[in-house]
Amino acid sequence: MDLSIALILLQDGIVNAAIYALLALALVLVFTVTRVIYVPIGEFVSFGALTLAALEAGRVPGTVWLLLIFGIAAAAVELWSLRQGGSGRRIVGCLLRNVVGPAIIAATVALLAPAKPGQLVQVLLALAVTAPLSLVLYDTVYRPLANATVLALLIVSVALHFALVGLGLIFFGAEGSRTAALSGASFTIGPVFVTGQSVAILALTAGLIVALYLFFDRTLVGKALRATAVNRLGARLVGISPLFSARLAFGLAGLIGALGGILVSPLTTIYYDTGFLIGLKGFVAAIIGGLVSYPIAAGAAILVGVLESYASFFASELKEVIVFMLIVPILLVRSYGTTVLEDEE
Amino acid sequence: MSLSASLLEVERLSVAYGRVEAVREISLSVPEGAIVTILGPNGAGKTTLLNALMGILPARGRVRFAGRDLAIRTIEGRVADGMSLVPEKRELFVSMTVEDNLRLGGFRRRGTAAFDETLHRMWRVFPRLAERRTQLAGTLSGGERQMLAMARALMSGPKLLMLDEPSLGLAPLIVREIFRIVAELRDAGVSILLVEQNARAALELADSGYVLENGEVVLQGPAVDLRGDERVVATYLGIRAAAGA
């Protein structure tokens, strides 16, 4: 291996790392706010990418149906919980949020899709269909379990992951898709050939991280999310509803996951089940950050991406093994003298 | 005390941990603009009672606040109604600044003129907090934490402030300061439900009081009467007060 190969691998690793970093941040966000380990985050990568691919082909993406189905399911769950003493306003709000909202999104996509609008519109439509899916999934699956233990929530997450992979196969089919690059430009720096897509990934990831930082550091709503993570009871006592925080966290996570899929799909073919592996690598990074630290998780994502890239060069058949092995020493080190986020009594 | 309507009306409230009843059929009322104190030894159920009133613990019985039945009201719903609890453990956001803690206290009123107005008033009422505005809440002393917890609870503009042992573990000088602020709050129109170990200070301040033992009300009445009651004097005010009375 010479320097130029090393640099190419490094570039590859860092570009992938950006995607892992996004997913790691989403996982940390959802876990700290709601104690849910959001295993299905990977499905949002797949769904985001496949939704965009369908829109590029002028088809109505399968995510539209998923959104409608889970919207109705969420409404059913909420109406059932309101069966005694639900005010008219809450029932109307529930229907607006879970049925009318998704229907409007679905109708917009169905109208615009055959016309093959420009790339930016397609990307926005893909995000608008995929991200809200996270909200209706929360309302359907996690909300009724708000007081469950971390372990129970994890088991539910794994089950939801399998369900979504199966639904992905039904609604998107078994064949993979690749989407058009966000930027067709390319240039060389020394020995390294850089594509516009890599630059777009890094720029959008960096932009999103800065935006998240500003959101958490400068806005009261962002601080309310942090407050919920720091002290759940304290947050409720000042009137921050856990439902509000959870919806915000799940919505953001869905958006980040879908964006990750849209960014990565020009680089690699995405199948209905590809997202899981990508999500798992984000999870490794999030674990290194103890599922609580955003900066450590983001830094660890770079480690994961670069390690994976070099591993695929030296021992390509073992690259996944090498990446996931990373967790073992890290957990050993972390188990000594670090603060652990305790399950609540 | 005037005969104004009750802000908080509690009827036969019971709270059980498993099969053990920590609070049994307690009835009490907090009139508008009054300070009502709840006295009693450790383990009498005082904290349990406040937590049940705030919706943190499930309870049987009837609780009406400002004319509204709270049976299915969530904690944050009660905050929106105008109740605010300063819990025994303070429950501050320790890794956030003093100012952030305060601002979050007014989360539901964010962006309103009342929010800014209350924030400014809190800096005036609690000058020590103003000095420590950018410090993390976790680095504050016990007295400062108590002040921050009170100020944070007031940021929501409550009609009823419930204080759980505000003097616990604090130096006498700071306790006096906190009780002075509680009196000011009442004068500003906030009703107060005060759970205290420091019976002497609480009865001097309060309009009326309840004495809890083993989860039941054993004595109740205007604070003046309680101060003169033999049992209260013997158990809670000690020999010195008895000699003074």
Inform me whether the pLDDT recorded for B26 exceeds 70.
yes
> What pLDDT is recorded for position A344?
44
Inform me whether the pLDDT recorded for B243 exceeds 50.
no
Contacting residues of A for B95, CB less than 8 Å apart: 230
Inform me whether the pLDDT recorded for A5 exceeds 50.
yes
User: How close are the terminal C-alpha atoms of chain B, in Å?
Assistant: 23
Inform me whether the pLDDT recorded for B1 exceeds 50.
no
Give yes or no for a contact between B48 and B15, defined as CB atoms under 8 angstroms apart: yes
How far A39 CA sits from the closest chain B CA (Å)?
28
Which region holds residue B165: left if phi is over 0, alpha if psi is between -120 and 50, else beta?
Answer: left
The crossing angle, in degrees rounded to 10, of helices A63-81 and A150-172 is 140
Q: CA–CA separation, A139 vs B143, rounded Å? A: 41
Using CB atoms, pick whichever of A226, A230, A240 lies closest to residue B76: A240
B54 touches chain A (CB under 8 A): yes
Give yes or no for a contact between A6 and A194, defined as CB atoms under 8 angstroms apart: no
Angle subtended at Cα B7 by Cα B16 and Cα B159, rounded to the nearest 5 degrees:
100
> What pLDDT is recorded for position B231?
82
Pure H helices in chain A? 3-34, 41-56, 63-81, 88-95, 101-112, 119-137, 150-172, 196-218, 220-230, 232-237, 242-264, 274-288, 294-314, 319-325, 327-334
Whether residue A62 is contained in a domain is answered as no
* Mutation target vs A (from B50, B68, B76, B103; most A CBs, 10 A cutoff): B76
Can you tell me whether residue A341 is helix, strand or coil?
coil
Structure tokens at A196: 């516009």
Q: Rounded to whole angstroms, what are the CA distances from B224 to B1, B3, B8, B35, B182?
A: 11, 17, 21, 13, 18
How far A242 CA sits from the closest chain B CA (Å)?
9
Q: CA–CA separation, A155 vs A167, rounded Å? A: 18
Query: Domain span at residue A201?
Result: 3-53+127-337
Whether residue A345 is contained in a domain is answered as no
Q: CA–CA separation, B155 vs B178, rounded Å? A: 17
Q: CA–CA separation, B98 vs A143, rounded Å? A: 32
> What pLDDT is recorded for position A184?
82
Inform me whether the pLDDT recorded for B241 exceeds 60.
no
- Cβ-proximal residues to A218 (8 Å cutoff; 6+ apart), any chain: none
Give yes or no for a contact between A334 and A290, defined as CB atoms under 8 angstroms apart: yes
Give yes or no for a contact between A201 and A19, defined as CB atoms under 8 angstroms apart: yes
Main-chain dihedrals φ then ψ at residue A163, nearest 5 degrees: -60, -45
Which region holds residue A173: left if phi is over 0, alpha if psi is between -120 and 50, else beta?
Answer: left
Structure tokens at B199: 């019976």
Q: CA–CA separation, A227 vs A245, rounded Å? A: 10
> What pLDDT is recorded for position A19?
96
Q: How many domains does chain A have?
A: 1
Can you tell me whether residue A194 is helix, strand or coil?
strand
B100–A235: do the CB atoms touch at under 8 Å?
A: no
Whether residue A90 is contained in a domain is answered as no
- The residue in chain B having the minimum alpha-carbon distance to the alpha carbon of residue A232 is B91
Structure tokens at B208: 């009326």
Q: Tens digits of per-residue pLDDT, B210-240?
A: 999 999 999 999 999 998 888 888 777 764 4
Q: CA–CA separation, A128 vs A40, rounded Å? A: 18
Q: Is the ipTM of this complex over 0.85?
A: yes
Q: Tens digits of per-residue pLDDT, A184-199?
A: 888 888 778 888 899 9
Average pLDDT, chain A: 92
* Mutation target vs B (from A217, A236, A238; most B CBs, 10 A cutoff): A238
Main-chain dihedrals φ then ψ at residue B14, nearest 5 degrees: -130, 140
Contacting residues of B for A86, CB less than 8 Å apart: none
> What pLDDT is recorded for position A90?
86
Q: Tens digits of per-residue pLDDT, A9-23?
A: 999 999 999 999 999
* Residues constituting chain A: 345
Query: How confident is residue A345, by pLDDT bands cut at 50, 70 and 90?
Result: very low
> What domains does chain B contain, in order, with CATH numbers?
1-82+160-172+186-245 (3.40.50.300), 91-157 (no CATH)
- State the average pLDDT over residues A157-171: 96
Inform me whether the pLDDT recorded for A87 exceeds 90.
no
Give yes or no for a contact between A102 and A136, defined as CB atoms under 8 angstroms apart: yes
Q: What is the DSSP string of chain B?
A: ---PPEEEEEEEEEEEETTEEEEEEEEEEEETT-EEEEE--TTSSHHHHHHHHTTSS--EEEEEETTEE-TT--HHHHHHHTEEEE-TT----TTSBHHHHHHHHTGGGTTSHHHHHHHHHHHHH-HHHHHTTTSBGGGS-HHHHHHHHHHHHHTT--SEEEEE-TTTT--HHHHHHHHHHHHHHHHTT-EEEEE-S-HHHHHHH-SEEEEEETTEEEEEEEHHHHHH-HHHIIIIIHHHHHHH-
- State the average pLDDT over residues A316-322: 88
Using CB atoms, pick whichever of B56, B94, B107 lies closest to residue A238: B107
Q: CA–CA separation, A50 vs A122, rounded Å? A: 12
> What pLDDT is recorded for position A218?
94
Average pLDDT, chain B: 90
**Strands B160-164, B191-195: pairing kind:** parallel
Give yes or no for a contact between B55 and B213, defined as CB atoms under 8 angstroms apart: no
- State the average pLDDT over residues A111-131: 94
Q: CA–CA separation, B87 vs B79, rounded Å? A: 14
* Mutation target vs B (from A221, A237, A345; most B CBs, 10 A cutoff): A237
> What pLDDT is recorded for position A338?
56
Q: Tens digits of per-residue pLDDT, A218-270?
A: 999 999 999 999 999 999 999 999 999 999 999 999 999 999 999 999 999 99
CATH number of the domain where residue A148 is located: 1.10.3470
Using CB atoms, pick whichever of A230, A233, A239 lies closest to residue B79: A239
Inform me whether the pLDDT recorded for B242 exceeds 50.
no
Q: Rounded to whole angstroms, what are the CA distances from A61 to A51, A129, A264, A313?
A: 5, 9, 18, 36
Q: CA–CA separation, B212 vs B64, rounded Å? A: 21
- Cβ-proximal residues to A117 (8 Å cutoff; 6+ apart), any chain: A125
CA count, 13 A, side-chain hemisphere, B131: 6
B168 touches chain A (CB under 8 A): no
Q: CA–CA separation, A130 vs A128, rounded Å? A: 6
Q: CA–CA separation, A293 vs A32, rounded Å? A: 9
> What pLDDT is recorded for position A4?
85
Q: Tens digits of per-residue pLDDT, A47-80?
A: 999 999 999 999 999 999 999 999 999 999 999 9
Q: Tens digits of per-residue pLDDT, B38-94?
A: 998 888 999 999 999 999 999 999 999 998 999 889 999 999 999 999 999 999 999
